[in-house]
Amino acid sequence: MFVQHFINALGLGALYGLIAIGYTMVYGILRLINFAHGDIFMLGAYFVFFATIQYKLPWGLGVAIAIVGATACGLLVDRIAYRPLRGAPRISALISAIGVSFFLENLAVVIFTGMPRAVVQPPWLMKPVILGEVRLIPLGLMVPVIAFVLVSGLLWVVYKTKPGLAMRSISHDIETTRLLGVSVDKIIALTFALGSALAALAGIMWALRYPRVEPFMGVFPGFKAFIAAVFGGIGSIPGAMVGGVILGFVEIMSVAFFPKLSGYKDAFAFVLLIVILLIKPTGLMGERMEEKI
Amino acid sequence: MMLDIKNLNIWYGGIHAVKGIHMNIEKGEIVTLIGANGAGKSSAIRAIAGLVKGYKGNIVYTRSGEAAVSLSGRPPEEMVKMGIALSPEGRRILPQLTVEENLRLGAYIRHDKAGVAEDIDYVYGLFPRLQERRRQKGGTLSGGEQQMLAVGRALMSRPDLLMLDEPSLGLAPILVSEVFSVIRELNRQGKTILLVEQNAFAALKIASKAYVLEVGSIVIEGTGEELLQDSRVKEAYLGG
Ligand SMILES: Nc1ncnc2c1ncn2[C@@H]1O[C@H](COP(=O)(O)OP(=O)(O)O)[C@@H](O)[C@H]1O
Ligand SMILES: [Mg+2]
């Protein structure tokens, strides 16, 4: 029983973490809360739904389409809603972010209708594996493993490659980074692309876990993932993952062991947020962020 | 002529910070721009680097063997690709990156791995302390070490024109002479250098040509030697 809860919590937490990474990377570089990020997650889920269930494409192809589609949307959001405001006061970009989020959600209602649609899970993902007393489904095991691989890959990009070096540099000093020959807009676009691709993958796995998609499915996970990012220390990629996993555990375990609390499940994220802000305002693994000049 | 600055004017809102200056730099020279705090030195050098938007006048750059081009309206990242590098005032070391990562970032536009590795060793040769601290975060270095790193980082793009904004700022005298002897050595190896300084004496001693900037205007120009002898320079900048 506990093993099942454990895997479950790890999976939910890994998904929060994958979304949180997109928030944390964009915030680290631009000091911008990209409110549209949860909607990119939703679009990723929809794209895979249409590709595989509506158009009967194989899952591998559907996943690829969803990643490419959601990444393109993330890049468009940066290009249209944020890049023209680079020099503007930060509040302008923030308002633009909220606007984009509403726009994407309502566009999804118009195009996809507000009706939730059921996702048909591929049977091989759901076929239980029995280990003694424990019943595990492959999907539940796959989610944390995939998340781990993705995050390792991302850390490699950020810490071992040239664009990654430029990303880390931009987050401290945009002007000096440009002075050294980095095309900052390209690196920012890359950041949005990576964050969107991870959100799309999280959206796909989310759609498989809670097998449905709907236009507002990104709102709560997005909100919680943002809290996970703040909890872990905004700007820190490992922090986002750790924050996500902790939140996943708090939600799953509290409901598992105190079923009476299940009605309050969505409030735990806020409790965690308040606690960390009181004890360590920079989050678990965060460093102080200087204001951008 | 490598760089020809014609009638450069810079405004910040209502402040007219640089008022129609003319300067030129020949290949292989050390040219220095001296002046008191607030004279407009950084504004001028930052305009060349592409960091000042909307200045008036023209800056014409000629890379050896290439046609002359106007620099106005070009972003800073393009200047680096054209062979102009600036070590900015205040060093601007990236504190969370290691010494070596700071140097690698200086070579961002280059794709010749072997050449970059060679140049990192070259910079370590110029500043052996940096090699000792290669894995240390930039933010943990002393002021002098950060200045060496800033100069080294600007060298990493293999610029034709190296611009240094107050490399002696805040350094102990012994470090000032170390940094200046490296500047002279770089020039001996063929680097063209534009040096902005408040330390007029040290700058004039190594400069082939010098300009004195006062509240946005060039008031004196000549060879380094001439200016060291100039009574106005002596009085205002060399302590009488
Ligand atoms: N970004 C800026 N905004 C407004 N005023 C500025 C800015 N940069 C410089 N100035 C003003 O322009 C003048 C020249 O400054 P600067 O070029 O930094 O001089 P220096 O480098 O010789 O000390 C000063 O009066 C300074 O206050
Ligand atoms: Mg200055």
The two tokens of residue A102 are: 């509403």
Chain A residues whose CB is inside 8 A of the B104 CB are: 162, 165
- B35: alpha, beta or left? (left if phi > 0; alpha if psi -120 to 50): left
> What is d(CA B39, CA B31) in angstroms, rounded to the nearest whole number?
17
Contact assessment for residue B91 and residue B151, using Cβ atoms and an 8 Å cutoff: no
| Any ligand 1 atom below 6 A from CB of B149 | no
Looking at chain A, list the stretches that DSSP marks H as alpha helix, in order from N- to C-terminal side: 2-30, 37-49, 59-77, 90-112, 123-126, 138-160, 162-170, 174-179, 184-209, 219-232, 237-257, 268-279
Query: Are the CB atoms for A285 and A232 separated by under 8 Å?
Result: yes
Using a pLDDT cut of 70, give the percent of chain A over it: 98
What local confidence, expressed as pLDDT, does residue A134 receive?
83
Q: Which residues contact B100 (CB under 8 A, 6 or more apart)?
A: B120, B134, B135
pLDDT score of A216 more than 50: yes
The dihedrals phi and psi of A15, each to the nearest 5 degrees, come to: -70, -45
Separation of alpha carbons A257 and A77, rounded Å: 41
Cβ-based neighbours of A162, under 8 Å, separated by 6 or more? B104, B108
Which of A169, A179, A287 lies nearest to residue B86, judging by beta carbons? A179
Chain A interface test: which of B92, B110, B165 (most A C-beta within 10 Å): B92
pLDDT computed for residue A239 by the predictor: 97
Residue B221 pairs in a beta bridge with: B211
Nearest CA in chain B to A185: B77
Q: From residue B197, how far is each of B26, B41, B170 by CA, in Å?
A: 19, 8, 12
Mean pLDDT of A77-104: 96
Distance CA B226, CA B208 (A): 10
Between chains, do A181 and B97 touch, taking CB under 8 Å as contact? no
pLDDT at A286: 85
Q: Which residue of A has its CA nearest to B153?
A: A180
The closest ligand to the CA of B37 turns out to be: 1
Look at A130 and A158; give whichever has higher pLDDT.
A158
pLDDT band at A219 (very low <50, low <70, confident <90, very high): very high
CB A225 within 8 A of CB A147: no
A154, A21 contact by CB (below 8 A): yes
Nearest CB to A181; choose among B77, B94, B97: B77
For B139-162, give the DSSP string.
GGS-HHHHHHHHHHHHHTT--SEE
Spatial CB neighbours of A277, under 8 Å, sequence gap ≥ 6: A230
Measured CA to CA, the distance from residue A174 to residue A86 in angstroms comes to 11
In chain B, residues with a C-beta closer than 8 Å to the C-beta of A168 are 94, 96-97, 101
Mean pLDDT confidence for A55-75: 97
Q: Where are the alpha helices (DSSP H) in A57-136?
A: 59-77, 90-112, 123-126
Q: Are B194 and B33 in contact (CB under 8 A)?
A: yes
Chain B residues in contact with A180 (beta carbon < 8 A): 80, 105-106, 108, 153, 157
Whether residue B153 lies within 8 A of chain A, CB to CB, comes out as yes
Specify the DSSP class assigned to residue B137: B
Q: How far is the CA of B93 from the centre of ligand 1 (A)?
A: 21
The separation between CA A173 and the C-alpha centre of its own chain, rounded to angstroms, equals 25
Q: Which CATH code is given to the segment(s) B3-93+159-237?
A: 3.40.50.300
Report H helices in B41-172.
41-48, 76-81, 99-106, 113-126, 128-132, 143-155
Is B75 an interface residue toward A (CB < 8 Å)? yes
Tens digits of residue pLDDT in A230-270: 999 999 999 999 999 999 999 999 999 998 988 888 888 89
Task: Give the pLDDT of residue A152.
Answer: 97
Query: Is residue B40 in contact with ligand 1, taking CB distance under 6 Å?
Result: yes
**Is 60 exceeded by the pLDDT of residue A214?**
yes
Ligand 1 within 6 A of B42 CB?
Answer: yes
Q: B106 and A180: CB-CB below 8 Å? A: yes
Domain spans in chain A, listed from the N-terminal domain onward: 2-279
Tell me the percentage of chain A whose pLDDT exceeds 90.
86
Q: What is the mean pLDDT of each run of 10 residues along chain B (240 residues)?
A: 97 96 97 97 98 96 94 96 97 96 98 98 97 97 96 98 96 93 96 97 96 97 96 87
pLDDT at position A291, please?
A: 52
Residue among A19, A37, A185, A43 at smallest CA distance from A98: A37
Q: How far is B227 from chain A (nearest CA, A)?
A: 32
- Site of tokens 């049977």: A123
Amino acid at A135: R
The answer on pLDDT for A2 being more than 50 is yes
* Contact check, Cβ <8 Å, B80/A172: no
Residue A81 and residue A96: Cα distance in Å, rounded?
6
Q: Are A227 and A23 in contact (CB under 8 A)?
A: no
Q: What is the pLDDT of residues B23-36, one digit of tens each?
A: 999 999 999 999 99
Nearest of A18, A43, A14, A49 to residue A121 by alpha carbon: A49
Q: For chain B, give every domain's residue range.
A: 3-93+159-237
Q: What is the DSSP letter of A86?
A: T
Class of domain A2-279: mainly alpha
Contact, A184 vs B51, CB < 8 A?
Answer: no
Q: Is the CB of B35 under 6 A from ligand 1?
A: yes
Is A166 within 8 Å of B153 when comparing Cβ atoms?
no
Q: What is the CA radius of gyration of chain B?
A: 17
Render pLDDT for A114-144 as a digit per residue (tens, 0 to 9): 999 999 999 999 999 888 888 889 999 999 9
> Which stretch of DSSP H or E encloses residue B57?
strand B56-61
* Chain A residues with CB within 8 Å of chain B CB: 162, 165-166, 168-169, 172-173, 175-184, 287
Buried b (16+ CB within 10 A) or exposed e, A5-15: eebbbbbbbbb
Q: Which residues of B touch A176 (CB under 8 A)?
A: 88, 92, 94
Question: CB of B108 within 8 Å of any CB in chain A?
Answer: yes
Strands B30-35 and B192-197: parallel
Output the pLDDT for position A293: 37
B216 lines ligand 1 (CB under 6 A): no
Dist. CA A195–CA A217, nearest whole Å: 18
Say how far apart CA A44 and CA A22 lie, in whole Å: 14
Average pLDDT over residues A195-223: 97
Judging contacts by C-beta atoms under 8 Å, the chain A residues touching residue B75 are 178
Ligand 1 pocket check for B38: Cβ under 6 Å: yes
**Mean of the pLDDT values across residues A200-213?**
97
Nearest C-alpha neighbor of B105 from the set B69, B150, B148: B150
